[in-house]
């Protein structure tokens, strides 16, 4: 087993966000994830401060680390200067680097995010682009979005966008040289290698689960991880 605690401690967010926890619970008290999932940010800090690698490994392979919404409300309140939300980020990074994320239902979802947000960042230079927000995958966007989507160019132009245009402005086409630069940034800083790892470990998992995994968002595995919720995430309300 890799030296997990020390690996985590290499992450600047752990050095910044892990002090001595006194288990007071101010973080769990106002954590939105704790309200709806079987989750307590307090436990995360408590487990990390044990430095016990077997507990940390279990955490990295669990759904637990994927419930947080990173609102960072916990950071405001901690009387000891801990930052559970930052620790979650470090745990998620490590879980992906080691391939542990595919061991949990919520962790496996990283592939779906990589294939949408990740792809769009490199393709459009922004995390989202309207033509990609399919009303079918986002029914809650309502009839208004359906209408916008159908008339995307007309609506965006009416609202003052420079839709796919050159020069500055809303939803402009990002110049190719700029896209090249951000690709290079992703390459030298480990962004691309993170993406590759997500793909590689997911592929292994899909095979293990007997599912087909292509490269888009339409194959069985991606559809499965994108839509299926086992419902085992809120202990209090089960059965």
In whole angstroms, how close is the CB of 207 to another protein at the nearest point? 21
Q: Is the dihedral of CA 28, 140, 195, 129 positive or negative?
A: negative
Residues in the chain: 239
User: Smallest Cα–Cα separation from 195: which of 208, 182, 207?
Assistant: 182
Whole-angstrom distance, CA of residue 121 vs CA of residue 177: 14
Q: Does 116 bind another protein (CB under 8 A)?
A: yes
Residue 102: exposed, middle, or buried by beta-carbon count in 10 A (0-12, 13-18, 19+)?
buried
Tokens of 75: 């950071």
Interacting span for another protein (CB under 8 A) from 1-9, 14-22, 48-56, 207-215: 14-22
Q: Which residue has the tokens 């809120």?
A: 234
Q: What is the 3-state secondary structure (H, E, C) of 186-205?
A: HHHHCHHHHHHHHHHHHHHH
Q: Is position 151 an interface residue for another protein (rule: CB under 8 A)?
A: yes
Cβ closest to another protein, residue 102 vs residue 110: 110
Is residue 206 part of the contact set for another protein (CB under 8 A)? no
Q: Is 80 in the site for another protein (CB under 8 A)?
A: yes
* Distance in Å, CB of 73 to another protein, minimum: 6
Q: Which of 54, 150, 215, 232 binds another protein (CB under 8 A)?
A: 150
Tokens 């405001």 found at: 76
User: Could you please report the per-residue DSSP string of 65-103?
Assistant: GG------HHHHH-TT---HHHHHHHHHHHHHHTTGGGG
Q: Looking at 1-9, 53-61, 160-168, 206-214, which segment touches another protein (CB under 8 A)?
A: 160-168
Of residues 39-78, which lie at the interface with another protein (CB under 8 A)?
40, 42-43, 66-73, 75-78
Closer residue to another protein in complex, CB, 113/204: 113
Q: Which is nearer to another protein, 4 or 112 (CB)?
A: 112
Q: Is 181 in the site for another protein (CB under 8 A)?
A: yes
Q: Count of residues binding another protein (CB under 8 A)?
A: 117
CB of 36 to another protein, least distance (A): 5
Among 5, 7, 9, 29, binds another protein (CB under 8 A): 29
């Amino acid at each position: 087993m890799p030296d997990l605690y020390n690996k985590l401690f290499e992450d600047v967010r752990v050095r910044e966000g892990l002090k001595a926890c006194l288990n007071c619970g101010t973080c769990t008290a106002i954590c939105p994830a704790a309200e709806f999932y079987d989750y307590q940010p307090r436990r995360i800090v408590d487990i990390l401060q044990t430095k016990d690698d077997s507990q940390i490994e279990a955490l990295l392979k669990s759904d637990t680390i994927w419930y947080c919404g990173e609102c960072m409300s916990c950071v405001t309140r901690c009387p000891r200067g801990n930052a559970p939300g930052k620790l979650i980020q470090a745990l998620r990074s490590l879980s992906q680097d080691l391939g542990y994320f595919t061991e949990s239902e919520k962790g496996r979802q990283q592939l779906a995010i990589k294939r949408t947000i990740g792809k769009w960042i490199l393709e459009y230079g922004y995390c989202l682009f309207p033509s990609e927000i399919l009303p079918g995958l986002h029914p809650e966007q309502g009839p208004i979005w359906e209408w916008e989507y159908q008339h995307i160019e007309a609506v965006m132009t009416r609202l003052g966008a420079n839709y796919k245009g050159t020069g500055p402005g809303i939803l402009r086409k990002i110049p190719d040289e700029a896209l090249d630069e951000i690709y290079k940034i992703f390459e030298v800083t480990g962004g691309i290698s993170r993406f590759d790892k997500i793909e590689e470990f997911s592929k292994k998992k899909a095979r293990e689960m007997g599912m087909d995994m292509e490269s888009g968002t339409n194959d069985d595995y991606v559809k499965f991880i994108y839509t299926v919720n086992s419902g085992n995430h809120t202990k209090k309300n089960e059965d």
